[in-house]
Amino acid sequence: MPANPQRKAESRRRILEEAGRLFRRHGYEGVGIDAIMQAAGLTRGAFYAHFPSKRDLFAEVIGGEHGFNRLMKARTGGSDKELLTEAIGIVGDYLHPDHRAEVGLGCIMAALSADVGRADAATRRAYAARVRELVEEFGRGLRAPESDLDPRALAAMVMSVGALIMVRAMDDEDLARRTLAACRKEAERLLKSKPA
């Protein structure tokens, strides 16, 4: 009997969701296919009906829509000023101390950048596409960018993701709090600045 397409799509969605959560929490090397499939409520054998390998699954997780991108795309402002205000609010939430602890649920870029750096070319291309998309979204609302990759948007995005990566590695609450506050303030300054 042929597989139900809706059921297969739902199984694939669950695998991607659980793989993303587990990869963010434990890293690429820290989780295997068995753990992913158990978390998705499926058998190991079902994995290969959806993905040829764990590496291909990882590339698809990295190439999927990320929370930071989704939030920036969802801005509804009708003017550049409104879009900028929303972007600054999103960055503020992203760099909030509570986000530091949300490794399994938080930003894929902040949790998996080092793993992607060791991954194959397809995964790195998928990551670069999401980074480009995020920078373009950051740039929406900035006036008169020279290109689709406004340097202010690029710097604010890198500062935000980089700050989260670093504070998650710190065992010093005061330093982590100060780092997040400084990066929030500087990202806001960058986004409000005039084009170079």
Domain boundaries, the chain: 5-57, 67-192
What CATH class is the domain 5-57? mainly alpha
Predicted confidence at residue 145, as pLDDT, reads 55
Predicted confidence at residue 142, as pLDDT, reads 84
Whether residue 2 has pLDDT greater than 60: no
pLDDT band at 194 (very low <50, low <70, confident <90, very high): confident
On average, the pLDDT of the chain sits at 91
Q: Domain 67-192: which topology?
A: Tetracycline Repressor; domain 2 (1.10.357)
User: Could you read off the pLDDT of 92-138 as tens digits, one per residue?
Assistant: 999 999 888 887 778 889 999 999 999 999 999 999 999 999 998 88
pTM over cut 0.85: yes
Whether residue 156 has pLDDT greater than 80: yes
The residue behind tokens 């068995």 is 34
**Contact (Cβ atoms closer than 8 angstroms) between residue 107 and residue 161:** yes
Predicted confidence at residue 1, as pLDDT, reads 46
